[in-house]
Structure 1
Amino acid sequence: MNVKRHPPYRRPMTGWWKRDPFFMRYMLRETTAFAVAAYAIVLCVGVVRLAQGEAAWNGWLQALRSPLSLLLHLVLLIAFVIHAYSWFQIMPKTLPMIKMGGEQVSAGAIQRTGWSAAAIATVLVLALAAWWQS
């Protein structure tokens, strides 16, 4: 007896993340991690240029002032804001339950604390940079 065998069913995976807004947000969040990596590379190149001497450092600083670099930094800034927003959104879901005064801390309070910490760190870094320049 000759039985015709069919291959097992395989669900198509092309564009799986486009089918659900949740997965689209997930992919956007994961894609913004490449912006973080790109900026880490920019900073590492700066450290290497600093180690190579004043001329190399000044050349790197001049390259950062080019229109293409400014556009890249604008795109990276937008990606960083999206990245931070998405992480602060999922922070209450990933943290262990936090209780204060016998009650669970709300998701909104956790998100506001994250944004506040980010804002304070930004102000401190900018103040330090301004102090360093003077």
Structure 2
Amino acid sequence: MASGYDPKKSRVSDDTLADFFRSQLTGDLQEIPGIGPAAAKCLAEGDDDDKITNSFQLIGKFLSLKGPDSGDHKVESVEHMEKFWYWLQERGIKAHRSAIVNAIAEKMNTMMPGIYDADAYDSD
């Protein structure tokens, strides 16, 4: 995979991810592994409807990209992760996109099993 989401490109430590999975969300964007001050600033820019200023909104955006489904097409895990990765890129996030996608996808998968299929990336 030359570009796009690749969980192997995430440089977040297992301990950091485990802490994030166990912790309660506070709304601080920087509580999401891979998001620092520069990424938070990129997400907060734009029109009022486009601004992402807290972790809840970012997770909401992640969930919204799970669709739209149509009669003959359902957005599955791999496509969903790609859509979120490229959306982050469009928002100006230059680093740690795979880490951000992985952290949110894994956390949401603990709450909604099946939303993320990590096994889809094992064969690469």
Scaled to the shorter chain, the TM-score interval is under 0.3
**Structure-2-length-normalised TM-score:** 0.27
Q: Which has the larger radius of gyration?
A: 1
**Could you state the TM-score of these two structures normalised by the residue count of structure 1?**
0.25
Specify which structure has the bigger relative contact order, considering alpha-carbon pairs within 8 angstroms and separated by 6 or more residues.
2
Whose helix fraction is larger, Structure 1's or Structure 2's?
A: 1
